Every structure is written in C-alpha cells, then in structure tokens.
Amino acid sequence: MGLFDFLTNKGEEKPVEPAAKPQAGGTDFFGNNAAKPAQPVAAKGDSYTVVSGDSLSKIAKNHYGDAAKWHQIYEANKAIIGANPDHIEVGQQLTLPTL
C-alpha cells in the first residue's frame, strides 16, 4: 500500500482496536510473565556449543548477564579449554555452571 492509496481510500479506514487488558498475573511488554522474575538461561547448569565469534566473556554476558563471570565458565571447563582461556574453538561443548 503506497501513500497515494492511503490518501485516496480514506472512507475505508477502520478504527484502531483497543489493546487487550492485562491478565491478573500480568505480563511485561514482550508478553513474558511479569509475576515471576526471569531466570538466567544457565540456571540449570546447561551446556553450550561454541560458535564462531564467541569468547568466554560473550558467553557469560549472554547467559548470566555479566561478562565478568567468564571465570566461572573457564573453571568449569578447564579440562576442555586448556591453559589459555582466550583459546576456545568452534564446536566445543562447554558446561555453564549454575551460579
């Protein structure tokens, strides 16, 4: 629909429907349940497969909300990663510990 169509079809406009009222439990803007706090993805001790461009700090930021928690991921996966925490490889399966 172009601007010309919009201007020439004024008689066909429909009023905007009001938004649905929130339910008793309530939801936030994205439709998530606002009554209970969001749990981090790694709350259960999940595993994670390294993808291109990852670093331990990026993984920690995405899963824990704090990039500084990369140390916990490194300590839990020292046997897989090795002595250099900056050297993780695509495809490695890392354990994300529960914090």
The tens digit of pLDDT for each residue in 23-37 reads: 555 666 666 665 555
Domain annotation for the chain: domains and CATH numbers: 42-99 (3.10.350.10)
Residue type, 66: D
Reported as a single tens digit per residue, the pLDDT across 84-93 is 999 999 999 9
Half-sphere exposure of 78 (CA within 13 A, CB side): 5
Residue 43 has pLDDT above 50, yes or no: no
Model's pTM, two decimal places?
Answer: 0.55
pLDDT, position 42: 41
Alpha helices in 18-69 (DSSP H): 56-64
- For 55, residues 6+ apart whose C-beta sits below 8 A from its C-beta are 70, 86, 88
Q: Read off the pLDDT of each residue in 46-58 and give the average, rounded to a whole number.
A: 93
Reported as a single tens digit per residue, the pLDDT across 68-89 is 999 999 999 999 999 999 999 9
Residue type, 70: W
Q: Read off the pLDDT of each residue in 36-42 and give the average, rounded to a whole number.
A: 47
